[in-house]
Amino acid sequence: MQPLIILHSNDIHGQVDGLARIATLVEDIRAQHPTTPVIYVDAGDSQDLSNPLSKATQGVAMHRLLRVAGCQMSVLGNKCMRRYGMGVVKDYALAAQFPILQANLRLPEGSAIPGTLPSALLPTGNIQLGFIGLTTDQSNFVNEHHLQIESPFRVIKEQITQLKAAGANTVILLSHMGLDMDHVLANQHFDDVALIIGGHWHVLLETGVRVNNVMITQAGSHAEYLGRVDAVWDGKQLRIEQASVIKVDSTIPQHPRVLAEIQAIESEIR
């Protein structure tokens, strides 16, 4: 039996103060559970024009701050390429230093968008978690750049096979597709998928939604909440015991490490 805690955010949209508080929560929860693996992932759209740091760096700053906040995996949101072009994704990956996932949009010849991976493994305690990233169709941008839109059903099956061959015990979907599509995906009965961590719709699912024994979660938007999933690997499957959210408010101190990174970025862009 391997217990684990999965923390998640989505659609932060430049709210660096909230992200600094999320970093404090992530660190505190890890300290409170020294024998339980605690991972933190993000479901896309951390950048936003409303924040000067994000705007000045085309969103790169937000990925630096996610890294400093302890994020270990993310999915590509739907606004960054449409706003800044595909080239910025490589800059995100360099700043993040964690995998940025995106499986269902590909270059015309079929390869991954530079800076992204379709899926990745994350060693967690004594198990291997597999993650697959999905991003909603960005119609005009996709057409302009002749990107291939892959069926999410096909790429999920394809990536599950590859992840399992690489040693994944179970698979989690990081979805920036919206809640309706998350429900559709949960109804497909994909082998080894017990959890969908969603974004894009800015929906707060305080206790998650179970569809065909798959837990769907989403933590609102703008760093107002941090999602939490308590789970157990029982040797055969990942059992989701509970989904919840933590209110991120002014009573939670901003993490000094994130504040220091904000100051460093500010000095660089002056």
What pLDDT sits at residue 86? 87
Q: Which helix (H) or strand (E) holds 233?
A: strand 225-233
Please state the rounded mean pLDDT for residues 107-122.
Answer: 94
**pLDDT bracket for residue 83 (50, 70, 90):** confident
Residues whose CB is less than 8 angstroms from the CB of residue 195 and which lie 6 or more positions away in sequence, other chains included: 6, 172, 173, 214, 215, 217, 229, 231, 238, 240
Q: For the segment 13-52, what is each residue's pLDDT rounded down to a tens digit?
A: 999 999 999 999 999 999 999 999 999 999 999 999 999 9
Starting at the edge strand that comes first in sequence, how are the strands of the sheet with 193-198 ordered? Answer: 119-124, 127-135, 170-176, 193-198, 214-217, 209-211
What pLDDT sits at residue 143? 79
Residue 92: which of 79, 105, 103 has the closest Cα? 79
Q: Give the residue extent of every domain in the chain.
A: 2-269
Residue 161: which of 122, 117, 191 has the closest Cα? 191
Q: Residue 269: is it exposed, middle or buried by C-beta count within 10 angstroms (0-12/13-18/19+)? A: exposed
Reply yes or no on whether the pLDDT at 153 is more than 80.
yes
CA distance 7 to 22: 10
Please state the rounded mean pLDDT for residues 57-70.
Answer: 97
CA distance 252 to 239: 30
Q: Which fold has domain 2-269?
A: Purple Acid Phosphatase; chain A, domain 2 (3.60.21)
List residues bridging with 215 in a β-sheet.
195, 210
Please state the rounded mean pLDDT for residues 75-79.
Answer: 89
Task: Return the percentage of the chain with pLDDT > 70, whole number.
Answer: 99
Eight-state DSSP code of residue 48: -
Task: Return the percentage of the chain with pLDDT > 90, whole number.
Answer: 86
Question: What is the torsion angle, in degrees rounded to the nearest 10, for the CA atoms of residue 187, residue 214, residue 121 and residue 125?
Answer: -170
What pLDDT sits at residue 174? 98
pTM score: 0.96
| Average pLDDT taken over every residue of the chain | 94
Please state the rounded mean pLDDT for residues 136-151.
Answer: 79
Q: Residue 146: is it exposed, middle or buried by C-beta count within 10 angstroms (0-12/13-18/19+)? A: exposed
CA distance 131 to 193: 10
What pLDDT sits at residue 96? 97
What pLDDT sits at residue 47? 93
What pLDDT sits at residue 98? 98
Find the radius of gyration of the CA atoms of the chain.
Answer: 17
What pLDDT sits at residue 79? 81
Please state the rounded mean pLDDT for residues 83-99.
Answer: 93
Q: For the segment 163-195, what is each residue's pLDDT rounded down to a tens digit?
A: 999 999 999 999 999 999 999 999 998 989 999
